[in-house]
Amino acid sequence: MKIKKYLLIVIGLFGLLHSNLFAQNINIDFIEFVGRNIVVHYTLDDGANSNRQFLVQLYSSQDNFSTPLTKVMGDVGSEVTAGFDKKIVWDITKELGAYQGTISLELRGRVYVPFVKLGLKENQIFKRGKNYPITWTSGNLSGLVNIELFNKDGERIWGENNIPNVGKYDLYLPAGIRKGNDYKLKFTNVKDRNDAVFSPPISIKPKIPFAIKLATGLVLAGAAAYVVTTGGSNSNEPTPFPTPISPQ
C-alpha cells in the first residue's frame, strides 16, 4: 500500500472567523506508519485566541472526501484545542479493510461552537431506576437530538433517539446498567451527526445502596428467628410446632 505523504488542507479552513483577528493556520508536520495505523502529526495555531476549541475531522479520497473517517482517535473531533504536535491516529484496516493503492487524506476544521450547552456537573450522581430532569441551552431550540450513555471504555450502554430539542428531558437509567464512574452522556444533533456534545464524567449508583439492603436483610432475619423461638408473653419455653394431622 502506498500513501501520498501530504494532506490537502481545506482552503478557508478558518473562514468562519472575523478578518480582524490574529491569523490562524494549520500545518501538517509529517505522516508515519505505526503498526496498522497511520499517524498524522499537525500543528494548530490560533494566535492569541488559543483558548478556543475546534472541530477537526479527517477525510480520505477513498469516498471522494465525502464523509469523515470514524476509526480515528487523538486530537480529532470536537473540542480540539490549539497547540503543537497534535496527532490523529487512523486505523486504516478497521476503516477500509485490506486496502491497496494510493490514498490521499484531507484535514478539515472549523471553530467549534456546541449546538447545546449542558447543565450537568462533573461527577454528578445518577441512581438506576430513577427519573432525573436534565436541562440544556441552545441557540436554536428546535429539531431533534439523540441522547446516549457511554462507559469509560467508550462503549455505548444506552440511548434514546429523536428527542425534541426543547432544552429538557426526563432521564431514566434502567436498573440493568452497571454501577461505576466515568460514564458520559452524548448529545447528538440528528440533522448533523458531527454536531455532538459530551457531558462531564458522571457516576451511576444503585437505587438502594447495598449496605442498606444488607442491614434490612439482617433485621428481617432477626425478626424471623424471634417468631420461631419465642413463645407467648408468659412463657420462656419455645412454642412447639403443631402435630401434623394424618390424612384420613
Report the CATH number of the 2-111 domain: 2.60.40
Give the mean pLDDT of the chain.
77
- For range 27-50, the mean pLDDT: 87
Report pLDDT for 7. Answer: 37
Confidence of residue 4 (pLDDT cuts 50, 70, 90): very low
Does residue 11 surpass a pLDDT of 50?
no
Report pLDDT for 50. Answer: 75
Does residue 139 surpass a pLDDT of 80?
no
- For range 139-153, the mean pLDDT: 87
Confidence of residue 42 (pLDDT cuts 50, 70, 90): very high
Report pLDDT for 89. Answer: 96
Report pLDDT for 218. Answer: 52
Q: Give the chain as a 3 state SS string.
A: CEEEEEEEECCCCCCCCCCCCCCCEEEEEEEEEECCEEEEEEEEECCCCCCCEEEEEEEEHHHCCCCCCCCEEECCEEEEECEEEEEEEEEHHHHHCCCCCEEEEEEEEEECCCCCEECCCCCEEEECCCEEEEEEECCCCCCEEEEEEECCCCCEEEEEEEEECCCEEEEECCCCCCCEEEEEEEEEECCEEEEEEECCCEEEECCCCHHHHHHHHHHHHHHHHHHHHCCCCCCCCCCCCCCCCCCC
Report pLDDT for 3. Answer: 39
- The CATH T-level fold of domain 117-205 is Immunoglobulin-like (2.60.40)
Report pLDDT for 90. Answer: 95
- For range 109-123, the mean pLDDT: 83
- For range 79-86, the mean pLDDT: 90
Q: Where are the domains of the chain?
A: 2-111, 117-205
Report pLDDT for 41. Answer: 94
- For range 60-82, the mean pLDDT: 90
Confidence of residue 25 (pLDDT cuts 50, 70, 90): confident
Report pLDDT for 222. Answer: 57
- For range 42-71, the mean pLDDT: 87
Report pLDDT for 8. Answer: 37
Do 2-111 and 117-205 fold alike per CATH? yes
Highest mean pLDDT (candidates 77-86, 114-123, 225-234, 236-245): 77-86
Report pLDDT for 46. Answer: 86
pTM for the model stands at: 0.54
